[in-house]
A and B are shown apart, each in its own frame.
Chain A
Amino acid sequence: MLRNKSVVSINDIGDDELSEIFKTAEDMEKALKSGKPLELMKGKIMATFFYEPSTRTRLSFESAMQRLGGSVISVPEAKSSSVAKGETLADTVRMAEGYSDIIVIRHPMEGAARLASRFTSKPIVNAGDGSGQHPTQTVLDLYTIRKELGGISGKTVTIVGDLRYGRTVHSLVLALSRFNARVNLVAPPILKMPDHVVSMLPADFKLNITENLSDVLPETDVLYVTRIQKERFSDPNEYQSVIGSYKINSETVAAMKEKSIIMHPLPRVDEISPDVDSSPKAAYFRQANNGVPVRMAIISLILG
């Protein structure tokens, strides 16, 4: 199903393929727990091009490939090597085609991974393109909701923070619209979800757009928090006021349902106070740990 396919947008993964990834990721988790080395990707090479800094995504992709018995080649500073020499992304990808079986790209410009997929027959995995999409993060987010709460359908997911530039939430809201979930989008007007994302959602999707978090907190099953970057604001006072109104702390946790969770794609800065970490609702580190088995599943299904 996913075999030899590029994964650039969450819409490149069909519903059946998503189920297959979830099932395979569960198998991968079991294999990791057993400690038995895997050789599924033995002899296969993954090339990673990170034109933007990344810690979690890069490490989890590389760890996933190595856990599968495959190997990884990467450029430590992709931006400073080929770009500095004036090479186009199209040429970089055509070159990498000869060196690897699968190519993972993170790039500061939107559409970069799609462009890359046009210039190679090797599968491309988008690890984030500008403020565009981050589909593998979305798959691991869905996997986390499913694992923590037993399913996605019928759940109320409240997404709070930077909905304008935060690429993880663009892919996530598109994916949730396929699961009969209810979504609250909570953001100040300056950081609201862009129209080009909202216009991709089905007309009957249960979407509620608000600026007020406390109104929707009691009905929330999943509180998905994203980082609000200071540099998005021209007025420092406005930044302080937004940060203050959306800060997640023990009071927020107390206002939430008993069986609900808090997620965050990480890194967090000030938006979740450290006193939340000890709550069973704090699922963000468990979510980050799901990155490896989910990416193992995606890689093995593409190259399987």
Chain B
Amino acid sequence: MDEQTLKISKIKDGTVIDHIPPGKALRVLSILKIDDHVENSISIGIRVTSKRLGTKDVIKIENRDLEKFEVDKISLIAPDATISIVSNYEIIEKFPVELPQRIVGIVRCSNANCITNMKEPVQGEFSLISKKPLLIRCNFCERTMNEREITASLV
């Protein structure tokens, strides 16, 4: 962890989500359904200086592990994010998020005329077309969605 992130206090046990694009931390919190009812202790750094990214956001959450679908969702809005799992102040595991090739149940198709937006027993299902720029294709209507559309359509 670089020295700038030390401005935010260390956590004893929990998860650190680092290298979030500047300004996207609040969106990540919303993905994790963290709102004013939260009981965990959370530190948020917005637009902190980063050697790698210039500026970045960082979130530290006490006593919270992330589910795979949450990490997948984060990868769609913060594809360069890294996740660190902290136990007793030590990082015991650190890994970059990875965009899944098949994205299921976490994005709604932005095409209002796609059959998946009707009352049918299916989840939104997409294939990853390109990472940079981020582009996914609906496996039903075959429309593509860019980063802006994906961010607006997270389930």
A interface residues, Cβ below 8 angstroms from B: 9, 86, 88-90, 107-112, 114-115, 118, 129-133, 194-196, 199-200
Give the chain B neighbours of A107 by CB distance below 8 A: 115
Pair B120/A89 contact, Cβ less than 8 Å:
yes
- Give B116's nearest chain A residue, CB to CB: A111
Instruction: Tell me the minimal C-beta distance from B138 to chain A in angstroms.
Output: 7
Cβ of B113 under 8 Å from chain A: yes
Give the chain A neighbours of B138 by CB distance below 8 A: 111
Instruction: Tell me the minimal C-beta distance from A85 to chain B in angstroms.
Output: 13
Pair B115/A115 contact, Cβ less than 8 Å:
yes
Pair A110/B141 contact, Cβ less than 8 Å:
yes
Pair B120/A115 contact, Cβ less than 8 Å:
yes
Instruction: Tell me the minimal C-beta distance from B63 to chain A in angstroms.
Output: 40
Select B122's contact among A90, A109, A130, A196, beta carbons within 8 Å: A90
Pair A110/B120 contact, Cβ less than 8 Å:
no
Instruction: Tell me the minimal C-beta distance from B129 to chain A in angstroms.
Output: 7
Give the chain B neighbours of A200 by CB distance below 8 A: 142
Can you show 9 pairs from A to B with CB atoms below 8 A apart? A88-B120, A110-B111, A110-B115, A110-B140, A114-B139, A115-B120, A115-B122, A118-B122, A195-B144
Known interface pairs A89-B120, A111-B142, A118-B122; A199-B115 also in contact (CB < 8 Å): no
Known interface pairs A89-B115, A110-B114; A199-B120 also in contact (CB < 8 Å): no
Cβ of B143 under 8 Å from chain A: yes
Write the B116-155 contact mask toward A (1 if CB under 8 angstroms, else 0): 1011111000000100000101111111100000000000
Is chain A's interface secondary structure helix, strand, loop, or mixed overall?
Answer: loop
- Total interface residues on B, CB under 8 Å, equals 21
Pair B115/A196 contact, Cβ less than 8 Å:
no
Pair A199/B129 contact, Cβ less than 8 Å:
yes
Give the chain A neighbours of B113 by CB distance below 8 A: 108-110, 130-131
Cα(A114)–Cα(B115), bound, Å: 9
- Give B137's nearest chain A residue, CB to CB: A196
- Give A114's nearest chain B residue, CB to CB: B140
Cα(A107)–Cα(B116), bound, Å: 13
Instruction: Tell me the minimal C-beta distance from A188 to chain B in angstroms.
Output: 22
- Give A170's nearest chain B residue, CB to CB: B142
Cα(A126)–Cα(B109), bound, Å: 20
Pair A90/B120 contact, Cβ less than 8 Å:
yes
Give the chain B neighbours of A133 by CB distance below 8 A: 142
Give the chain B neighbours of A86 by CB distance below 8 A: 119
Question: 10 nearest interchain CB pairs?
Answer: A111-B140, A110-B141, A111-B141, A111-B115, A196-B144, A109-B115, A112-B115, A196-B143, A114-B140, A115-B115
Pair B116/A115 contact, Cβ less than 8 Å:
yes
Give the chain B neighbours of A196 by CB distance below 8 A: 137, 142-144
